[in-house]
Amino acid sequence: MRHKHNGSGLSVRSKIWLEKAGEPVLGKGRLMLLKAVDAEGSISRAAKQCNISFRRAWSYLNSAEKNFGIKLLDRKKGGAGGGRSTLTPEARRLIEKFDVLSHDTGRYASKRFEDLFRK
């Protein structure tokens, strides 16, 4: 996340992610993938939108479900028309919480930057 800069041209950036046992569980990329699944209704189309392979997208989503201990997607296998994936209410709450955390962290970083580096 990019934050405003002071008169010197300096700026502060912050990036957060959630980890479990030192391994990333949720960050900007995986959040974008979840939002893409929501928009596209398909893991395959979401993977293309995020420029990752279907296999990697599937792995990220399954890993996140295991690490959070919640179901993130309702998956319906497809026939001739293809399958459909939708976010669960738990996934929507997780996205909302992460977005709030990210926004609040960015606001705090910007404020502290201004306090510490103001001319």
Range of the domain at 98: 26-117
Distance in angstroms (rounded) separating the CA atoms of residues 43 and 70: 18
Flag whether 44 is in a domain: yes
Flag whether 61 is in a domain: yes
Flag whether 101 is in a domain: yes
The closest alpha carbon to 15, from 115, 97, 102, belongs to 102
The share of the chain scoring above pLDDT 90, in percent, equals 78
CATH no. for residue 33? 1.10.10.10
Q: What is the pLDDT of residue 92?
A: 97
Flag whether 13 is in a domain: no
Flag whether 41 is in a domain: yes
Residues contacting 30, CB < 8 A, separation 6+: 24, 60, 64
18-59 pLDDT, tens digit per residue, is 999 999 999 999 999 999 999 999 999 999 999 999 999 999
Q: Quick check: 80 pLDDT over 80? A: no
- Residue 87's pLDDT band, with cuts at 50, 70 and 90, is very high
- Residue 7's pLDDT band, with cuts at 50, 70 and 90, is low
Flag whether 71 is in a domain: yes
Count Cβ atoms below 10 Å from residue 61 Cβ, excluding itself: 22
- Residue 79's pLDDT band, with cuts at 50, 70 and 90, is low
Instruction: Please state the domain count of the chain.
Output: 1
Flag whether 15 is in a domain: no
Distance in angstroms (rounded) separating the CA atoms of residues 114 and 107: 11
Flag whether 57 is in a domain: yes
- Residue 5's pLDDT band, with cuts at 50, 70 and 90, is low
